[in-house]
A and B are shown apart, each in its own frame.
Chain A
Amino acid sequence: MKQHPLCTDTEREPDVMHLAVPAGLKQEWAALQTRRHFLGRTGKVLGWAAMASLLGDRALRGDTAQQGAKGRSDAQAAGLLKLPYFAPKAKRAIYLFMSGGPPQIDLLDYKPNLAALYDKDIPDSVRGGQQLTGMTAGQARFPIAPSHWAFKRYGETGTWVSDLLPNTAKIVDDLTIIKSTNTEAINHEPAIMLMNTGNMNPGKPCMGAWLAYGLGSMNDNLPTFMVLQSKLNMKEDNQPVSSRLWSSGFLSSEYAGVGLRSQGDPVLFLSDPSGVSHEVRRKMLDAVNAINRQTSEELGDPETHARIAQYEMAYRMQTSVPELTDLSKEPKSTWDLYGPDAKEPGTFAYNCLMARRMAERGVRFTQVYKRGWDVHGNVTGTLPILCQETDRACYALVTDLKQRGLLDDTLVIWAGEFGRTVYSQGGLTPENYGRDHHPRCFTTWMTGGGVRTGITFGETDEYSYNVIKDPVTVRDFNATILHCLGIDHNKLTYKFQGLDQKLTGPTPASVVQGLLA
């Protein structure tokens, strides 16, 4: 066996975990190893450092010499992590991400006074010299476009909801509606990165990866963090989403989100190729793993371990994914609830149903992406389609989780990356208008384990332009989500590039107490 030049212990495997040095040095060693590879090749993660820090002072420390992928997942499985810091209200979360930026004024942020201001210019004092996007900065006027849709009060809470969301309206008493969410980014990519990773620049781990890293898996046969993309009905306004949004960043790539495809095989190349039996597949994997372990011993690249773990996960997913996606046993009441869309793989409704099934099967974090909310023009043409696709499914998911007793410990989040302007982008007519990106306020909602339901939090001014009460920054929003899952956002950190990195970043963030149950 080729010995790594840094490893002087000839008796043992060159495995940081087994060198007789203090834990801090092991971590440092692993970090150096990674940086060497980062510079030399394309290595990028510090899995071993993660393990060193996580294993450092565990009460239930294992003593097996073999630290393969199986050993690692067992460590997690046996709950050896130092997390959660306190007994959490929610064990898992489902994040319905409305990519593109839903227009809060047309959905949940009711502004009755705007009707009288139709086509009047938005006062300069409200805009306050804010820099706009290149798409509307050149406009000569900023005419106010009141919502095309009427609002009514629903539920015991009497919450105002747009006619576009007749089903969401039925569950308002279960929701925590946040009207004061606000972001710093005005364009899609930085804004969506900020929501998901806490940083506008790509490269940081996203929330799901942090959760997978911090909380570990409840089900060894399915990934801890899964991503579902929804089909597109419309051709325009579909801002792309990419795997950067479910990346594990500098964490081991084991923690990255695993996506299910909307068409064909949910996971590509998961089935055994024709002519290859299951046993042959197993033998092949064993051989590949042996080679990988050898590579790992030679080079000490933590990413090799991640790869072994991923092969093993894929193998286990060969049986768990078909079971997950087999909807034949769903009772009729499911289809009555979710609607006929849910039978078609890849629709948002199907994905919501899938998210519920994943919640039942112990997937820690499921993110469902729905694109198309970027309604720069033709709001009255586009929005009804989007709402028709999502409204019933959101209602169905929350209702389904509730009736099955899962909402007690599942947090459901509905959010986009920013809101949309009160003034019209392009021409304003009584029939139609457009809305540009608006970072200063947008409406989101949560429900389920840990949050105080049946409330509306925060207020915007009468133009739905500025937050006037209880602002919730993206950092606070994310800190609150982590809190519901038993994590102190200041403590879930990972040393990288000389900084204790965390989801909420170095700027102080605070858990929004008013949102908590």
Chain B
Amino acid sequence: MIHRGGLAVFADRALPKSKSTRLAWIAALALSVALVLLPWVVKLDGKPHADWEQFLGRFHPLAVHLPIGLLVLLPILEIVGKFRPALREAAGFVLGLSFASCLFALMLGVLLAYGSGEAGAGVTLHESGGIALTIGVLLCLLARPWWSSGNVAYAYPVLLTCTLLALAWTAHQGGSLTHGSNYLTQYMPAPLKRITAFRTTPPATSFYAKRINPIFDANCVGCHGAGKIQGGLRLDSYESLMKGGQDGPAIVAGKPDKSLLLVRVTLPPSHKQFMPAEGKPPLKAEQIAWIKAWIEQGASPTAATLAGISIREDRPELPLQPVGDYSALGPEIRAMAQGQGAKLIPVSAKPEDGLVLYTVDASASFGDAQLAQLQKFAPYIVEAELARTAVTDASFDTLKQFTHLRALHLEETQVTGAGLAKLAPLSQLTYLNLSGTKVTSAAIAPLSSMKNLRHLYLYNTPAQLAPGSVPANPFAATAP
């Protein structure tokens, strides 16, 4: 036969001819089958087994990095080997080594999961990934000789690519097991999060969703979640939380003493059954108090508030916005301090933290005109202490140029509040003190549009609603 079909060509080139390669193929096939059957042979039943298994198993996180490193090196060696043949020779060796280390890491991993009684979807996925990866490397090992001899051009590169993808996926699964599934996305910049649509759950309203679940999310679900189900307990949803684990119910509504979860987190940290285990940081006293109160009051999934527990809304403080470098203005800052007594003092040793304007030495003689002279320094001033100075409402024309202003003190000045609206562009202003001035509620009304203004003080002013009461302002959030 002169003309043969493509398949026949492949079979002719690829099928093992010598006895030894045939044997290698049979051995590889047998090993692959054994690996595929591994999850059924060593069943992860979620119960801890022998200590020595755990001891060895705990070297798994160390051992996995060897095949990772070697496999990532492999394509580099192959590609660069095009120009430096010696590297390609090394690639064969590296591939063999990758296979050995893969197999080793896989065995340790199985020991770890079986010995420590870890189970769950995450563990299973990671295990399957590891098996697929090991088989992939094995196939690469067998396919490479054809490729290097030039017989089959595509099988090895395709296999290697698949193997590397399997590697990335498996490694990510493993990482999620140790660090939690939101480890990578937790600190993702908000815009990126929106694009990738991570965590677009509707805003939580119940006490459980807002306060209790996040505690478990941050401290517990690494071992009691979808990934691992230690002790048969999952804390990632209300239903699974109330279902409890092997040792009994985690939460008994109304009975904190009977709720194993609360019992375990309040044991002395040295206790064997203390949770969170394995030296992870204990829950904070405040969090324990919330959990306790939540259990006492019925462990409801929907109740929005709890009697006796009031949590200040933690609107995050606006982070410091860096100002430019004012070092060049040093001599002028000095001259000004000597001239008019007003001082510009750095917030900290870092110039980007900005300057604080102090006028206490010159309070009586410091008025709108003096303030206007500070325009040069305006973008660098983050806090202006103008209490008890002679400034008036005219000062707002200057102050609106203090673009980085975070805190403004106008206590006991002649300010009446007319023109306070001019401060609206100061997007970073979080603190405004108008105590002891003549401002009225009408005058401060425009301030309500300033979203970042969290601390507004109106003590001893006509705007203060009830004299003597502390949160006596329309914004009610004067607490530090």
Partner of A405, one of B327, B337, B459: B459
Interface residues as binary, B455-480 with A (CB distance below 8 Å gives 1, 0 otherwise): 10101100000011010000000111
B309 within 8 A of A: yes
A87 near B353 (CB under 8 angstroms)? Answer: yes
A60 touches B334 (CB 8 A): yes
Q: In the complex, what distance in Å separates the CA atom of A150 from the CA atom of B460?
A: 37
1/0 per residue, CB under 8 A from A, across B335-365: the answer is: 0011001011111111101011010110000
CA distance A361 to B361 in the complex (A): 9
**Which B residues touch A337, using CB under 8 A?**
468
Chain B residues numbered 379-434 whose CB sits less than 8 Å from any CB in chain A: 385, 387-388, 409, 411, 431, 433
A486 interface hit (Cβ, 8 Å): yes
Q: Which residues in A have their C-beta under 8 angstroms from that of B470?
A: 399, 402-403
Residue of A nearest to B342 (CB): A77
B333 interface residue per 8 A CB criterion? yes
| Cβ-based interface call for A86 (8 A) | yes
Interface string of A379-418 (1 = CB under 8 A from B): 0000000000000000000010011110110000000000
0/1 string, A454-486, CB within 8 A of B gives 1: 011100000000000000000000000000001
Chain B residues in 8 Å Cβ range of A84: 347-349
Residues 295-312 of A, flagged 1 when their CB comes within 8 A of B and 0 if not, give 000000000000000000
CB neighbours of B457 from chain A (8 A)? 403-405
Q: Name the one of A78, A331, A399, A457 contacting B460, with C-beta atoms under 8 angstroms.
A: A331
A79 interface hit (Cβ, 8 Å): yes
Closest chain A residue to B308, Cβ basis: A158
Q: Which chain B positions have C-beta within 8 A of A514?
A: 284
Q: Does A140 contact B (CB under 8 A)?
A: no
B155 contacts chain A at the CB level, 8 A cutoff: no
Supposing A82-B349, A336-B468 touch, asked if A360 and B308 sit within 8 A by C-beta, the answer is: no
Among residues of A, the one whose C-beta sits closest to the C-beta of B332 is A60
Q: Is B320 an interface residue (CB 8 A)?
A: yes
User: Within 8 Å CB of B479, what residues of A?
Assistant: 174, 402
Asked if A453 CB lies within 8 Å of chain B CBs, one says yes
A336: chain B residues at CB < 8 Å are 468
B200 lies within 8 A of chain A by Cβ? no
Q: Which residues of B contact A218 (CB under 8 A)?
A: 343, 345, 358, 360
Shortest CB–CB separation between residue A183 and chain B, in angstroms?
A: 23
State in angstroms the CA–CA spacing of A486 and B348 once bound together: 8
**A59: chain B residues within 8 A (beta carbon):** 327, 330, 351
A60 and B467 within 8 A (CB): no
B435 beta carbon closer than 8 Å to chain A: yes
B residues 298-328 with Cβ under 8 Å of A? 308-310, 320, 327
User: Which one of A87, A448, A455 has the highest number of Cβ atoms from chain B below 10 Å of its Cβ?
Assistant: A87
**Considering the chains assembled together, what is the distance between the CA atoms of A360 and B433 in angstroms?**
12
Contact at A402–B320, with CB atoms within 8 Å? no
Size of the chain A interface, CB-CB below 8 angstroms: 45
Q: Is the CB of A78 within 8 A of B345?
A: yes
With an 8 A cutoff between CB atoms, is A30 at the interface?
A: no
A455 CB contacts on chain B under 8 angstroms: 285-286
Task: Tell me whether A427 is interfacial, beta carbon within 8 Å.
Answer: no
Could you tell me the distance between the alpha carbons of A83 and B345 in the complex, rounded to whole angstroms? Answer: 10
A272 CB-CB contact with B under 8 Å: no
Name A360's contact: one of B309, B338, B387 (CB within 8 Å): B387
Which residues of the partner chain A approach B320 to less than 8 Å between Cβ atoms?
A: 87
CB distance from B322 to the nearest CB of A (A): 11
Q: Give Cα distance in the complex from A317 to B285, angstroms.
A: 48
Asked whether A449 is an interface residue with its Cβ less than 8 Å from the other chain, the reply is yes
For the complex, count residues of B whose C-beta is within 8 A of A. Answer: 48
- Give complex CA distance A166, B385 in Å: 35
| A74–B385 alpha-carbon span in the complex (Å) | 18
Distance in angstroms from B169 CB to nearest chain A CB is 37
Q: Are B480 and A60 touching (Cβ within 8 A)? A: no
User: Given known contacts A86-B348, A331-B460, A456-B285, is B310 in contact with A60 (CB within 8 Å)?
Assistant: no
Contact of B348 among A62, A87, A457 (CB under 8 A): A87
B431 lies within 8 A of A77 (CB): no
**B269 to A: closest C-beta gap in Å:** 9
Question: Is the CB of A38 closer than 8 A to any CB of chain B?
Answer: no
Q: Which residues of A contact B338 (CB under 8 A)?
A: 74
Find chain A residues with CB under 8 A from B361 CB. Answer: 77, 219-221
The interface bits of chain A over 496-516 (1 if a CB of B lies within 8 angstroms of the residue's CB, else 0) are 000000000000000000100
A79 touches B480 (CB 8 A): no
CA distance A286 to B223 in the complex (A): 75
Chain B residues with CB under 8 A of A360: 387-388, 411
Q: Are B480 and A362 in contact (CB under 8 A)?
A: no
**Cβ–Cβ < 8 Å partners of A82 in chain B:** 349
Is A156 part of the contact surface with B, judged by Cβ < 8 Å? yes
With a CB–CB cut-off of 8 A, which chain A residues contact B480?
Answer: 402, 407-408, 448-449, 453
Q: B284 contacts which chain A residues (CB < 8 A)?
A: 514
- Is A85 located at the chain interface by the 8 A CB criterion? yes
Within 8 A of B (CB), among A81-119: 82-88
Q: Which of A78, A84, A360 has the most CB of B within 10 A?
A: A78
Tell me the bound Cα distance from A84 to B345 in angstroms: 11
Instruction: For residue A141, give the distance in angstroms from its CB to the closest CB of chain B.
Output: 31
Contact A404 B411, CB 8 Å, known A77-B337, A79-B344, A360-B387: yes
Closest to A470 in B: B285
Given contacts A85-B349, A360-B387, A361-B360, contact A77 B343 (CB under 8 A): yes
Interface contact B333-A408, CB-CB below 8 Å: no
Contact A79–B343 (Cβ < 8 Å): yes
* In contact, B350 and A86 (Cβ under 8 angstroms): yes
Determine if A405 and B411 form an interchain contact, defined as CB atoms under 8 angstroms apart: yes
Q: Which of B345, B385, B478 contacts A79 (CB 8 A)?
A: B345
Q: Check A219/B330 contact, CB under 8 A, given A156-B309, A360-B387, A455-B286.
A: no
Contacts of B387 in A (CB 8 A): 360
Select from chain A the residue with minimum beta-carbon distance to B334.
Answer: A78
| In the assembled complex, A333 has its CB within 8 A of some CB on chain B | yes
User: A83 with B349: in contact, given A78-B334, A405-B478 (CB under 8 Å)?
Assistant: yes
Contact residues, B230-282 vs A (CB, 8 A): none
Contact assessment for B435 and A404 in the assembled complex, using a CB-CB cutoff below 8 Å = yes
How far is the CB of B378 from the nearest CB of chain A, in Å? 17
A396 CA / B338 CA spacing, docked (Å): 37
**Binary interface encoding of chain B residues 66-109 relative to chain A, with 1 for a CB under 8 A from any of its CBs, else 0:** 00000000000000000000000000000000000000000000
Point out the residues of chain A lying under 8 angstroms from B341, CB to CB.
Answer: 220
Given A88-B348, A362-B358, A449-B480 in contact, is the A404-B459 Cβ separation under 8 Å? yes
Residues of chain B within 8 A of A402, CB atoms compared: 470, 478-480
Q: How far is the CB of A410 from chain B (nearest CB, A)?
A: 9
Contacts of A86 in B (CB 8 A): 348-350, 353
CB distance from B161 to the nearest CB of A (A): 47
In the complex, which residues of chain B have a beta carbon less than 8 angstroms from the beta carbon of A457? 285
Please determine whether A333 and B455 come into contact, CB atoms closer than 8 angstroms. Answer: no
Please give, as numbers and ranges, the residues of chain A lying within 8 Å of B347 by CB-CB distance. Answer: 84, 87-88
Bound Cα distance from A219 to B341, whole angstroms? 10
- Least CB distance from A196 to B in Å reads 26
For B459, give its contact among A403, A448, A453 (CB under 8 Å): A403
Some 22 contacts from A to B, beta carbons below 8 A apart, are A60-B334, A62-B334, A77-B337, A78-B337, A79-B345, A79-B356, A82-B349, A88-B348, A156-B308, A174-B479, A218-B360, A219-B358, A219-B361, A220-B341, A221-B360, A362-B360, A402-B478, A402-B480, A449-B480, A453-B480, A455-B286, A456-B285
By Cβ-Cβ distance, the 7 closest A-B pairs, closest first, are: A79-B345, A405-B457, A60-B330, A405-B433, A156-B310, A408-B480, A403-B459
Given contacts A77-B343, A87-B320, 16 further A-B contacts (CB under 8 A): A59-B351, A74-B334, A77-B337, A79-B346, A156-B310, A219-B361, A221-B361, A333-B467, A337-B468, A402-B479, A403-B459, A404-B433, A404-B457, A405-B433, A408-B455, A514-B284
